[in-house]
Structure 1
Amino acid sequence: MEQHYQLLRKHIEEICVLTDEEWDVVAQRFTYKSLKKHQFLIQKDQLVPCEYWIIKGLTKAYAIDSNGKEHILQFAMEQYWTSDFNAFQNKVPATIIIDCIEDSEFFCLKWEDREYLCHEIPKLNHFFRIKSHYGYIALQQRILSLLTETAEERYNNLIKKMPKLIQRVPKKLLAAYLGVTRETLSRF
């Protein structure tokens, strides 16, 4: 477990360096969780008390429309943060489902604990702001990609940005993420 905490510390310290005393405070606020492949991290309509940092594994965040079609918003793997951030921040029921594509391990951070850490260690405000901005930028790029690029361009950009993801995600899910059929994906 110590190795997992060291990964988290390294992740945080890419943005803000912590003293050992500060790190002790931070580490106490994170809890560990593991799930098997196909288990849900978040289900629709549930409250979302935590945001999750992925230690190991792969998840998909998605919504299901009124016709039962799955719309994948995000794949998240090691060192990604994931949650239904609207539900987490605003304390409303989840509209996004997150489940595990692989056996996965997480560090969970409750909203109250994040607020406590930002108050007690102000430089963590900077960390969480930067992480939020990166997430917002990634979402913005994804939306623009869906609006302005061909399916083949989206696929090629995904290979460039996340080559390891292509090897870990089933073709059916990649096709859904890219907004194409599996048959179309097989032609790229």
Structure 2
Amino acid sequence: MYPALRQQFAEFVQLSEEEFDYVASFFRPKKFKKHSIIIQSGELVNHEYFVIKGLLKTATIDEKGKEHILQFAMENWWVSDYQALMSRERSQFNIECLENVELLYLSLSDKNKLCAEMHKMEHFFRLKATSGLINTQKRVLVLIKNDTQSRYNLLFDQYPLLFQRVPKALVASYLGVSRETLSRFSAK
């Protein structure tokens, strides 16, 4: 059951078969069609999601109607509006399926229960959260320190398959540039 989830846990903690079965029993599968919204701005957030199959984007729309993409999430990634989830505030983001998606979702109360009962799970989620924070800091530094060409090259080097799955307009939004600017770099 859920081999991708098992592999995800194995990167940080060793779970026995019984422990994994117990942990997996808290996760629920759900499928969404392309263009479905799994979290909508203004809604309360009750779950975090592990991506089994497909691709999602986390984005916000500014007062001028321009979309700003914070994150793409593909297979074996976790996604949610974590600020809204943890603070019980309303979401600031839309999380939309860019492809047909298969997810496993976990409620905050079940996650807290798992972490209270099993040190291994508390350890896993702490390390995943720390890893996410590190990646966010790296992304901010790339945006601050690098020009557009360098940001494009870094993204392409790190996630070459993303460019086959995401329209150029979305890549441009993620990089904070116009589609026309992106086209100049991708043509080189």
CA–CA distance in structure 1, aligned partners of residues 10 and 134 of structure 2: 21
- Whichever residue aligns with residue 6 of structure 1, its letter is P
| Counterpart residue identity of residue 96, structure 1 | F
For residue 149 of structure 1, what is the amino acid of its counterpart? N
Whether 2:28 is the aligned partner of 1:31: answer yes
User: Partners in 1 of 2:129 and 2:25 — Cα distance?
Assistant: 22
Displacement of 1:38 in angstroms is 0.5
Instruction: Say yes or no: does 1:97 pair with 2:97.
Output: no
Percent pairwise identity: 48
- How many pairs were matched up? 185
Partner of residue 44, structure 2:
47
Q: Which residue of the partner structure matches residue 112 of structure 1?
A: 109
Give the Å deviation of 1:11. 0.9
Give the whole-Å Cα distance in 1 for the aligned partners of 2:68 and 2:179: 14
CA distance in 1, matches of 2:49, 2:13: 19
CA-based RMSD of the aligned residues comes to: 0.8
Q: Gaps spanning 5+ residues in structure 2: where?
A: none
- In the alignment, which residue of structure 1 is the partner of 2:164? 167
Other-structure match for 1:130 = 127
User: For residues 151 and 25 of structure 1, what CA distance do their matches in structure 2 show?
Assistant: 46
TM-score normalised according to structure 1 size: 0.96
Structure 1 stretches of at least 4 aligned residues deviating more than 4 Å after TM superposition: none
Give the 3-state SS of the residue equivalent to 2:174 in structure 1: helix
Structure 2 partner of 1:80: 77
Counterpart of 1:56? Answer: 53
Following TM superposition, by how much is the alpha carbon of 1:21 offset from its aligned partner in structure 2, in angstroms?
1.5
Secondary structure of 1:163's partner?
coil
Does structure 1 residue 7 correspond to structure 2 residue 1?
A: no
Paired position in structure 2 for 1:143: 140
Structure 1 regions of 5+ residues with no counterpart?
none
Query: Which residue number in structure 1 is paired with residue 177 of structure 2?
Result: 180
**Cα distance per residue 1:68-88 (max 9 Å; x no partner):** 111100001000000000111
The structural deviation recorded for 1:179 is: 1.0
